[in-house]
Amino acid sequence: MSHHEHKARAPKSARVAVITCSDTRTKENDTGGGAIVAGLQAGGHVVAGYEIVKDEPALILAAIERAAGAQAVLITGGTGITRRDSTFEAVSGVIARPLPGFGELFRMLSYGEIGSAAMLSRATAGVTGDGRLLFAMPGSPAGVKLAMEKLVLPELGHLLEELAR
């Protein structure tokens, strides 16, 4: 079956949880998380939950666990290299099947927009042990927009169709 046939069979709507990892954001000023929620809703997906947690591995893991009813979990923030950026470490531990292409493509596309600073991103994705998609992307609105528009939304249904096989 071709890529196009798989995409044609893919579900048009997914149940998706959104997690913002930040020590400073609130729902009023969470532009990254808000952009993810808006993009999902515009794409016809169901937002199964949205929360903001401090950038602490235990809190990030607990939020992922609370999102157990979602088919996918989209995380924004904490993918840089500062001492407080711990999203990559937290999610790497729950990814059973990595999707390295997401981070590779994100950094390639990001390079076109911001140049060599793209290498600082530790955006990552994969499938958890219980079969959920997990995407971790930067907290910047531009990074979220790039990841959502160019990578996540175009392939979300196709990824879910593949996981269901």
**pLDDT higher than threshold 70 for residue 67:** yes
State pLDDT tens for residues 8-30.
677 788 999 999 999 999 999 99
Place of tokens 């470490």: 89
Q: What is the pLDDT of residue 2?
A: 65
Please state, for a pLDDT cut of 90, what percent of the chain lies above it: 87
Percent of the chain with pLDDT over 70: 95
Contact 50, 17 (CB under 8 A): yes
Mean pLDDT of 44-63: 96
pLDDT: which is higher, 1 or 75: 75
pTM for this structure? 0.94
| Per-residue CA distances from 18 to 13, 38, 89 (Å) | 15, 11, 18
What does the domain layout of the chain look like in residue ranges?
A: 13-163
Looking at the predicted structure, is the pLDDT value of residue 1 above 70?
Answer: no
Question: Residue 90 has what pLDDT?
Answer: 94
In this predicted structure, what is the pLDDT of residue 36? 97
Q: Which CATH architecture has domain 13-163?
A: 3-Layer(aba) Sandwich (3.40)
User: Average pLDDT of 151-156?
Assistant: 97
Q: Tokens in use for 65?
A: 């666990």
Angle at 94 between CA 71 and CA 42, to 5 degrees: 30
pLDDT at 131 over 90: yes
pLDDT in tens, 81-129: 999 999 999 999 999 999 999 999 999 999 999 999 999 999 999 999 9
